[in-house]
Amino acid sequence: MTTTVTSHRTRPPAQPASLRARRLPWYAAPAIAVAALALSAALVYGIDIGGPVLVVVLGAVLYLVGLFAAANAVEGRRSARNRTWSALIHSAFVLAVLPLVSVVWTLVSKGTERLDGNFFQTSMNNIGARDANGGAYHAIVGTLEQVGIATLITVPLGILCAIYIVEYGRGKFAFTIRFFVDVMTGIPSIVSGLFVLAFWVLVVSPWFNDGRPSFSGFAAALALSVLMLPTIVRSTEEMLRLVPPPLREGAYALGVPKWKTILRVVLPTALPGIVTGVMLAIARAAGETAPVLLVAGGGAAINTNPFENNQSSLSLFVYQQAGDASKYAPARAWTAALTLVALVLILTIAAKLLARRNRLSR
C-alpha cells in the first residue's frame, strides 16, 4: 500500500491595499516639468517681464512646487520631501553646468570665424584698422615662452617648498612659510606686475641694457611666477599629506633613507594631484593680462627672444583686440580666446596622460 504525498506551494498572503506604497508614475515628473515651463513662459511673455532666463528660473520654481504637491498627495509628506530635495540637487548641478556650457558654446560659435592659417601664421605688425587679415602668431609665441619659463622656475621651487613643509618643517619657521604662502595666494595680479616692474625692469634690467630699463618676456615670466608659486605649493602640500603614513613607514622599516623614500614612494604616489595643481597654476598664468602689460609692454611684431624688447601674449592680445575700434578686431579676440582655452586644455590632457603613464609603469 503506497501513500502518495502531495506538496503544495504556499502563496504568500496578499498585502492589504493600505500597506502598499503608492508612487507617482514615471511620467509624472517630466509632465510636471513641461507644464511648469509652459506656465512660466505664459506668465513671463504674457506680462512681458523678461526673457528665456526668467522663464527657466520661474519654471524651475514652479516645477519644485508642483512636484512637492503631487508627491505629497500620492506618496505622502516624507516621500515628497525626498523627491523635492533630489530635484533641488539635480537643479543645482544643472545650474552649475549651464555657465560652462554657455562659455564653451560662445567660444566655439564666435571663435571659429578667424580660425584659419593666416591667424596662426601672421602677426599684427603693419595691420591697419581696415585690414581683415592679421593674426596672433606673436601672441602665441609670447604665451608659450612666458608660461614655459614661469613653469620652469616655479615647479621645482614649489614642490621643494611643499616637501619641506610636510616632511621636514617643524616649529615657527615652517608656520611662517605656510603663512606667507597663504598670503601670496590672495595677491592681485597687478601687484605682482608692479613688484617685478619696480625690481627687475627698473633696477636689474638697466645693468644689461646700457643703463636703460627695458621690457621683456622674461620679466612677464617672473611676474607670472609670483602668481603660480602659492598655488603649486598649497596643492602639492595637500597631495603629500594625503599619502598614507604606512607607505613611508614601510620604506623606513626596510632601511630606505628619508630622501629616497620621498623621491621613490611619496612623490610618485602624489604625482596625479601634483600635476593637477601645476596645471591649475599654468591655466591661471596663461590667462593673466595685467602683469604682461606692465612688464612686457605688448607688441604687434613677432619677438622670439624673451630677454629683449616687448613681447605680447594671448590674454593681452584678447584685451587689445576687444577694445579696438576695427570691425575685424572682435573676431580676432574671440579666436584668440578660443586658442588660449584650447592650448590650456591640450597641455592639461598631455600632463594627465604623462602622469598616468608614469604611475602605471611603476
pTM of the entire predicted model: 0.79
Domain identity same for 124 and 99: no
277 has pLDDT over 80:
yes
Domain identity same for 34 and 164: no
Question: Range with the lowest mean pLDDT among 13-17, 150-154, 290-294, 298-302?
Answer: 13-17
Q: Which residue has the cell 597654476?
A: 281
Question: Which helix (H) or strand (E) covers residue 338, if one does?
Answer: helix 329-361
Domain identity same for 142 and 272: yes
Query: What is the span of the domain harbouring residue 89?
Result: 24-111
Residue ending a domain, choose from 76, 111, 146 = 111
Higher-pLDDT residue of 206, 355:
206
Domain identity same for 28 and 159: no
pLDDT tens digits along 8-53: 555 555 545 444 568 888 888 899 999 999 999 999 988 888 888 8
Residue 226 confidence (pLDDT): 93
Residue 202 confidence (pLDDT): 92
Residue 352 confidence (pLDDT): 81
DSSP for 168-188, written as a single string: I--HHHHHHHHHHHHHHHT--
Domain identity same for 32 and 135: no
Give the chain's mean pLDDT.
Answer: 87
Number of domains in the chain: 2
Residue 13 confidence (pLDDT): 56
Domain identity same for 82 and 142: no
Residue 1 confidence (pLDDT): 44
Residue ending a domain, choose from 111, 137, 168 = 111
Buried b / exposed e across 234-258, counting CB within 10 Å, b at 16+?
bbbbebbeebeeeebeebeeeebee
Domain identity same for 87 and 230: no
Q: How confident is the model at residue 171 (pLDDT cuts 50, 70, 90)?
A: confident
Give the Å distances, CA to CA, from 254 to 167, 242, 261: 18, 22, 10
Residue 276: which CATH number? 1.10.3720.10
pLDDT tens digits along 306-320: 998 899 999 999 999
92 has pLDDT over 90:
no
Domain identity same for 260 and 223: yes
Domain identity same for 91 and 144: no
Domain identity same for 132 and 83: no
Domain identity same for 86 and 45: yes
